[in-house]
Structure 1
Amino acid sequence: MKRLLPAGLLAAMLAVSACADLDPTTQRTMTGAAGGAAGGALIGAMAGNAGLGAAIGAGVGGAGGFAWDRHQQSRERSFQQGVAAGRASAPR
């Protein structure tokens, strides 16, 4: 077990570093899926099937990450529209 911990940490660091050049939608979706898989695996392990819990958690987390990304994009569009409207109506 003591040998697996450094190997697991190294694998996690490599996986996270591979996400550096992804667009925000993909990053948020993958982050949600990873978090959901971890939480699902924990709950599944308590219920007796960690693999099924991880699979369900990854699906739900990925969907949640995607929904969060759409919300963030909507907020950014609204902000940019407000800025453009403010600039258009500002006295010169």
Structure 2
Amino acid sequence: MPVMKNGSMIDPVDAQVGGDGDIDGIAQTITGDDIDTVLMSPSPVEQRIGTLREMRVELEARSHADRGGEIAPLLNQLDAAIALLSMRA
């Protein structure tokens, strides 16, 4: 259904995916590569553990909306990364 915006009709079908008009969703913002980047960062171990724990909190908060089973493997990867770094601390 077209929507009026700034005096002109916009049809969502014509909107560019990922453009400024794209509707926000529950897209995954944390990836396995992000976890690995923090794990291998030259930052102090305590800082990396803190960052990984923050990522885990964010993913746990979003896990109730995970219908595709994509968050559980990331949580496992985070747990493994935190455990690995905790041995170094």
TM-score, length-scaled by structure 2: 0.32
TM-score by length of 1: 0.31
Query: Higher Cα Rg: structure 1 or 2?
Result: 1
Higher strand share: 2
